Amino acid sequence: MYRGDDVFAVVVDIGSSTLKAGYAGDDAPQCVIPSDMGVMYARGKEGMVGASGTEDVADVPSHFYHGTNGLGVCREGMEIKPVMEHGLISDWTGVSKLLSHTFLERLQIDPKEHPILLSEPSFNSAALREKSTEVLFEEHGVPALFLAKSAVLASFAHGRATSIVLESGAGTTAAVPVHDGYVLQKAIVKSHLAGDELTRIYEHVIRNLGTNELLPNYSITKKVAANGDIQVTQKTNLHATQSFHRYQVHQLVQDIKESTIKIFDTELDLEGPLPPTPTENSSYALPDQTHYTPGIWKYQLPEILFNPSGYTPQTYPGYAALAATSGIHQMLYQSINACDTDLKKDLYQNIFFTGGNTIIPGFAERTMTELTSLFGSQVKLKNQSLPSAIERRNAVFIGGSILGSLGTFHQMWISRQEYEEHGKGIVERKCP
């Protein structure tokens, strides 16, 4: 029988790109898997449809595939489905399947025996919080649950209860002030300009530069010829779905992006002298053995984070929406200024960066430079972010690990008895 203190809590951080999970007290997650999933459909039974006779009912999911290996194999009819949209859960069936895979196959635990600490976006809605509570108690039978805001956990990972946290991951970017362990909701500034949007822009740029069709690894065959050259042949009759192909191309462009881009130390002046053109060492070897060299886009792509309207190609389909978006330094500035005056001094001295975009080379230095220019030299700002890229990427999990390992954590969570007595609405009272 579950007795609370006799087992470790499990920390789960679901992001737009990856799900991270592990035990409270660990300094890194035990598993990191893609948040997307593969779905195979089977035809339903025939049924009567009005006076028109019989026809097949809508297809129903029959198999689910998770993890890098599960999503990397081309299966006829397999669709790739995201479970998150702009940082919020959009597919609850998919999330439940993803959690089952994480608990039973990756962590190899029975969720009925472990309290769960689940991270949530700082701007999560009450309805989605209640749904998370319902899914974990009803479908997974967890004995206890606590929902914690991602910015609060990131602040705890840095050893602070008050801070300004810039979260920039795959699906969303948000500037979130935290005071004494509570998110100041009125001062959150968020944007959909994040990692996935940069990847889509980069694919648009690469195609417009005349690069041949991007061929992911699944679509080609390589063999070594007698003279030592590598011969590439495009596979035929793969029967890949459009969503699977789009997913594989997106992953390829994302890898190109992460391998080649760098943030320049000052704002780019496209009318003046440009930074030195990257050398051949900056080129990327594509799966079909051709090479892509980013040229000035090595710097221009991440520049979009600071000046969306000035550097996003006007031919990009989402240009109009991005043109009205603030740069990340402006988001921080707006968020801090929306807070009370007596709190600002603590925020100035505790600026944290978390998420995949924040590990782009030059990100922290450039952001602090731009932020200093907005506030003026009379305001002393301090970047206190975790030193390593891995820690910044995993900051939310690390904060959850710290919180879940506290001796007082069992006093914070929602027990199954409380859930059964008060219903899913209790999350608003127990998890502020």
Q: What share of the chain is helix, strand, coil (3-state, %, to 5)?
A: 40, 20, 40
Give the model's pLDDT for residue 379.
94
Quick: pLDDT tens for 333-375: 999 999 999 999 999 999 999 999 999 999 999 999 999 999 9
Which is it for the CA torsion 201, 334, 429, 142, positive or negative?
positive
Asked if residue 106 has pLDDT above 50, the reply is yes
Give the amino acid at 307: N
Asked if residue 6 has pLDDT above 60, the reply is no
Give the model's pLDDT for residue 231.
82
Among 12-26, 48-62, 294-308, which is the least confidently predicted range? 48-62
Q: 76: Cβ–Cβ under 8 A, 6 or more apart, which residues?
A: 239, 240
- Which pair of structure tokens corresponds to residue 424? 């899913």
Which is it for the CA torsion 386, 400, 196, 254, positive or negative?
positive
| Residue of higher predicted confidence among 268 and 51 | 268
DSSP 20-31: EEEETT-SS-SE
Give the model's pLDDT for residue 45.
46
Asked if residue 384 has pLDDT above 70, the reply is yes
- Find the distance separating the first CA and the last CA of the chain, reported in whole Å: 29
Across the chain, what does the average pLDDT equal? 90
Asked if residue 274 has pLDDT above 90, the reply is no
DSSP 38-85: EEEEE---EEE-GGG-EEE---EEEEEE-HHHHHHS--TTPEEE-SEE
Asked if residue 383 has pLDDT above 60, the reply is yes
| Closest of 421, 415, 420, 417 to residue 431, by C-alpha | 415
Give the model's pLDDT for residue 361.
94
Strand partners, 166: 175, 353
At residue 397 the predicted structure's pLDDT band, cuts being 50, 70 and 90, is: very high
Among 51-60, 335-344, 402-411, 415-424, which is the least confidently predicted range? 51-60
Which is it for the CA torsion 151, 154, 160, 163, positive or negative?
negative
Strand partners, 42: 60
User: Distance between CA atoms of 163 and 179, rounded to whole angstroms?
Assistant: 7
Q: Is 136 helix (H, G, I), strand (E, B) or coil?
A: helix
At residue 1 the predicted structure's pLDDT band, cuts being 50, 70 and 90, is: very low
Give the model's pLDDT for residue 52.
40
Asked if residue 94 has pLDDT above 50, the reply is yes
| Residue of higher predicted confidence among 238 and 124 | 124
For 250-261, b where at least 16 C-beta lie within 10 A, e where not — what string?
A: bbbbbebbeebb
Give the model's pLDDT for residue 71.
94
Quick: pLDDT tens for 210-248: 766 789 999 988 887 777 778 888 888 788 999 999 999
| Closest of 400, 399, 370, 402 to residue 383, by C-alpha | 370
Quick: pLDDT tens for 108-123: 999 999 999 999 999 9
Neighbouring C-beta atoms of residue 186, cutoff 10 Å: 9
Q: 46: Cβ–Cβ under 8 A, 6 or more apart, which residues?
A: 54, 55, 56, 57
Domains located in the chain, CATH noted: 40-81 (no CATH), 195-298 (3.90.640)
Asked if residue 289 has pLDDT above 80, the reply is yes
Q: Is 87 helix (H, G, I), strand (E, B) or coil?
A: coil
Question: In degrees rounded to 5, what are phi and psi of residue 78?
Answer: -80, 125
Quick: pLDDT tens for 33-74: 999 999 998 765 443 333 344 444 456 788 999 999 999 999
- DSSP code, position 35: S
Among 56-60, 251-255, 324-328, 424-428, which is the least confidently predicted range? 56-60
For residues 192 and 167, is the Cβ–Cβ distance under 8 A?
A: no
- Which pair of structure tokens corresponds to residue 245? 């192909």
Give the model's pLDDT for residue 46.
45
For residues 399 and 296, is the Cβ–Cβ distance under 8 A?
A: no
Q: Is 334 helix (H, G, I), strand (E, B) or coil?
A: helix
